[in-house]
Amino acid sequence: MTRDARPHRFLGAPLSVLLGLAPLAAAAQVRPSLQTASTPTQSSNATDSISISGDSSSIALPCVTPVAFTPPISGFPCVTLGSGLLAATQQQNASPAVSLPAKAVESASPQAQGEPRPDSQAGSSNPPPARESQHQSAAEQLKEEEKQRVMGIVPTFNVTYRQNAVPLSSGQKMDLALHSTLDIFTFASAFAEAGYYEMDNDLVGFSRGAKGYFERTGAAYLDTADGTVLSTGVVPILFRQDPRYFRLGYGPKWHRTWYALASSFIAKGDRSGKWEPNYGNLLGNLAAGGISNLYYPPGNTSAGLTMTNFAIQIAEGMAGAVFEEFWPDISRKLLHRDPTHGLDAGREAQYEAAEALKQSQQPSQTR
């Protein structure tokens, strides 16, 4: 019996090995052309004077400023997104401002007197505070995600319940990939899959008995490990994309279903935060299929079967994303447990408020 087109089975002849490795080689060449969006950086306006305001009272509301990691600017309108409503920050009773020449302030600074800047001292390798805070926030969110499981068994480490989750660093992406690869459920799945093939006498070239069983187990585990490390770690690092599934969690069910299905083909860019082609899922799984031909025995490889299993893997990913999208809803209804810890309730309330506001602004139809 020849090797069937099954999940986690990517096969092909030596030609398919080159077919699988070619996307990674091309990825390194086209990556610079894809990085058109840059990370928002803190900007400053060059002026002739620096204003120093006296005591003032203001209405302090949480807001989103135009520049990332920039403190709110007094007197500028800010938008509060948490409640779905618009709020403005307005300065009141401000005392007159005193203007000093910018050159005078610069001459009094330690840098103007020849002292080195704190971030340019010799031997200093500390990252900027904003980047360090972002890395710490991503680490805390990743730590929570690596505890997520369906019914406490099946891991869902690559799912985030936050639409505005902090992008992961290269090391954190690889940590996520290795955490999934080394999870006990991954090993158990490989043993179970090998047992199925052993009973069915599938995969020509493997021997029978204990030796063949462990050979099939190793091949099944390597299939999963190759696909996970490449699609979650290596390729997303090259293209600077987030390998996680950003669960929607609100809106009509048909819209959520289409959103989940599309996640196999689109991913969020680390810098732009916009949707891009999901190179990690597509190129990563295709490359893993080519690599698998190196450790499968002859008779289980062909380029056509490799592409067939690649298509099956993409379809499985689409079905898995739909399940991950609606699993918290199922858990709340049947198990009375909320895996999102209230995040869904907040997003649903915000969505309903926005829909009600939209309907109230529509002109009433005259009879």
Per-residue pLDDT reduced to its tens digit, 273-299: 999 999 999 999 999 888 888 888 877
For residue 200, what pLDDT is reported?
A: 77
- What are the contacts of 134-138 at 24+ separation with CB within 8 A? 134/69, 134/166, 134/167, 135/169, 137/166, 138/165, 138/166, 138/167, 138/168, 138/169, 138/172
Counting residues of the chain whose pLDDT is more than 70, the rounded percentage is 62
Q: Which of 109-113, 237-241, 329-333 has the lowest mean pLDDT?
A: 109-113
Contact 305, 11 (CB under 8 A): yes
Rounded Cα–Cα distance for residues 237 and 241 (Å): 7
Contact 65, 73 (CB under 8 A): yes
Contact 62, 80 (CB under 8 A): yes
For residue 298, what pLDDT is reported?
A: 77
Per-residue pLDDT reduced to its tens digit, 40-53: 444 334 333 333 34
* Residue 114 pLDDT grade (very low, low, confident, very high; cuts 50, 70, 90): very low
* Residue 87 pLDDT grade (very low, low, confident, very high; cuts 50, 70, 90): very low
CA distances from 261 to 104, 257, 331 (A): 60, 6, 21
Neighbour-count burial of 129, counting CB atoms closer than 10 A to its CB (0-12 exposed, 13-18 middle, 19+ buried)? exposed
Terminal CA-CA length for the chain: 72
Q: Which of 258-272, 275-289, 351-365 has the lowest mean pLDDT?
A: 351-365
The sign of the dihedral angle between the CA atoms of 152, 325, 8, 177 is negative
* Residue 128 pLDDT grade (very low, low, confident, very high; cuts 50, 70, 90): low
Q: Which of 63-77, 232-246, 312-326 has the lowest mean pLDDT?
A: 63-77
For residue 122, what pLDDT is reported?
A: 42
Q: What is the pTM for the complete model shown?
A: 0.64
Average pLDDT, the chain: 73
For residue 47, what pLDDT is reported?
A: 39
Picking from 254, 244, 251, the residue whose alpha carbon sits closest to that of residue 281 is 244
Residues 6+ apart with CB under 8 A from 202: 1, 3, 4, 196
